[in-house]
Structures are given as structure tokens and as C-alpha cells.
Amino acid sequence: MALMKRLDPRLRIIFGVTIVSILGMSPITPAFPRMIKFFHIAPSAIGLVIAFFALPGIVMTPLYGVLADRVGRKGALLFALVVYGLGGTACGLVSDFKVFLAMRFVQGMGASGLGALATTLIGDLYSGHKRTDFMGYNASILSVGTALFPAAGGLLSQFSWRYPFFLNLFAFVAVYWVLKEFNFPSLQKEKCPFKDYLKNAFHGISDRKAIWLFAGGSAIYFLIMGSYVTYIPVLMSHRFKSQPWEIGVVLAAGSIGAGIAAAITGKLARMWGHTFLIRISFAGFLGTFALIPLMKSTWALLLPAILFGSANGIAFPLIQSVIVALAPFKYRGAFVSFNGMILRYSQVISPVVFAGVYSAFGIDFVFYGAALLSIFFGIASVFSPDFDSVGLSDVVTD
């Protein structure tokens, strides 16, 4: 608590926005089994709840980046929060699955900007080692929230699957604090034509290091959203007859592992380097997905959950830190949002891919398939460029 009081008030608000961004996913996953029963859908169809949330990000995320660069961070962030809060709350009020998916789409329109804008703002405010540290702290805050909200969502869904969606009302609390407290970095007057802005932004995005980082982050997200987040609740419910609160606890354990790992990512990067840590994280994902089908009880799943969280907590802050370091200030929104768009593609496609695996081969092969992909991605990462000169630089080339 004392540390939070010493932090820049703007950073506290960024952390708050990050926590709000979790509300659209983490609290609702323990409710998946009850949603399947309520809406009378097949277990493989539950992936649509994730896909429709992610789908608008394919278009909206880069638009948020352009808006943030050309008009300002504040307007883009406020719009995203309002749309997110309205759509998420509406999800808890409907009884038709098609209408529900439509509201998830609306919520996803708002969610498309939240994570990218929070990352962009950290990049605006900090550089060098501090940037890596605060990217790690932001990821740790996200993970702590992700640890708490599944448990809260599991408890709430004991009463009704609808209740976790009402947590999205906290988005309007964030709107109040952004309006009241946040002094945003001022944008220099953009004198170049919009066409030139796009050309210059694309030139930076097509850098070899940037392309690999986009691909690496997308690969991790593909594994997370397609296999782990979607089918851990299904496996626990069907195989072990786990209650929603038990599902929430296991998911929370993974988030705690991610939070601890992310909090020390800056220190680890100083010791081992960004490149090595990003590569080794794929070994953690391999271990996670290979172990899950072998577990014999609900609580045995705590081991792969913590391993999964640790790998995720290390990899994502480092990838974000290097992406932000590559991006000049006036194109940073475009850089970070393009990465967000790629992640949304993975979030949309991966549940569909793994739903096909589930339908054809069963739930064990969902996780064995993810393990095979982890091996492939890990081997590919060996040939990645060296990111340490970028990620650890104390110079910001704005």
C-alpha cells in the first residue's frame, strides 16, 4: 500500500485501467459450465464467448492506436472504457445466446483499446530499465487481478452466471478517475499528412525485430486463449466434477504465479537478458500443456497452472517492453495497437482451432496439441534476433 502511494498518480490509474481490462474475461471463465447449461449449447461452442469478445479488436485496435497518436491518448482511453463498460454490463442482462454474443462484440470494441493504451502510456512515461520494471509491475498487477477475479467470478457464478458480468460497472469508476486525475503526455502537433504518418508507422512496424515480437506474442496468446483459458474449466467440470469456485482457485493459482514472475521480470532481464528469457518461456508452456492431461484430481492441476503463469508472467512484459522501446513517441500508439491487433487475431482464431481439435479427438488432445505447438514455437524462437540492446536501452528515440 505504501508503495502504491509513492507511485506517480498516473501510473496508479494505468494500473486501474489494466485491472478493469481483466473484467471482460477472467471473472467469467468459471461460469462457462453454467453458461453452457443455461444457453443449451455444446461445450465446443463456449469458445464463441471468447471469439466474439476478441473479433472487433482486429479492426478496432489499430484504430485506437491511430486515434491515440493523432488526436490524443485521453479521448481514446475514455471512449474505450465507456463502450467496454456498457457492453459488458449488458451481457449479464440478456437471455438469448445470439444477443449475448452481440453484447460481447460491443464489449470487445471497448476492450480492443484498453491494454494497448495502458502499455502505450507506460512507454510514454518511462524509458530504459524503469520501463521494463513498470511493464513487469503492470503485468503483475494484471496477474494479481486475474488471480482474484476468477475466484470472485466462481463465487458469484455459484448464484448465477450473470453476476460476474456486473463487475464491468467498475469501468465507469475508471472513467471518473481518468477525467479527474490523469494529466496525459502532450502530443506534438502532427504536421505530416495522414498518408505519411501511415507510411512511417508501417516502416517501423515492418522492422525484423518488431515482426518477430509480434509473432512471438501472437504464438503465446494462441496457446493461452485457445487451449488454457477456454478448456481448463471444461476439463475440470467434466472430468473432476469441479465446482465453479474450485475452477476459480486453479485459475487464480496460475495468475499468482504470473504475478510473482512478472514482478521480478525487470531484475531477471538484467541478469539473463530479454532474448534468453523470452525463449525459455516456451519451455514453461511445453511443460504446462504436457502435464495437464496427466493430472488425476482438481488440486493436482495447481502445478501446471503455476508453471503456466510463471512462463506467461515472464514472456509478456518483456515482449511489450521491447515493442515500446522500438516505437518513437508519435508512432507508439500505432506500434502497440498493431501488436494488439495481432493478438486479437490469435484470440479469435485459436478457440475455433482448438474447438475443432476437441470435437475430433477429445479434450486431452487440446492440451497435447498445445504442447506440440509450444515445441514448434520454442524452436522457432532460437532463430530470433537479439532484443537486449533495444529492451535495455535508456535512450528514447522520440
Residue-level pLDDT at 366: 93
Nearest to 312 by CA among 372, 357, 355, 251: 251
Residue-level pLDDT at 395: 37
Specify whether the CB–CB gap between 306 and 253 falls below 8 A.
Answer: yes
Mean pLDDT by 10 residues, the chain (398 residues): 62 90 87 90 85 85 85 88 96 94 95 88 80 85 78 87 93 91 64 73 78 87 85 90 85 86 87 87 93 95 94 88 79 81 81 89 93 90 75 42
Question: Whole-angstrom Cα distance, residue 339 to residue 350?
Answer: 16
Residue boundaries of the structural domains of the chain: 9-181+219-384
DSSP string, 160-209: -TTGGGGGGGHHHHHHHHHHHH--PPPPPP--S-HHHHHHHHHHHHTSHH
CATH of the domain spanning 9-181+219-384: 1.20.1250.20
Specify whether the CB–CB gap between 64 and 116 falls below 8 A.
Answer: yes
Residue-level pLDDT at 4: 52
φ, ψ at 362 (rounded to 5°): 100, 170
166 CB-contact burial (10 Å; exposed 0-12 / middle 13-18 / buried 19+): middle
Specify whether the CB–CB gap between 387 and 278 falls below 8 A.
Answer: yes
Residue-level pLDDT at 5: 55
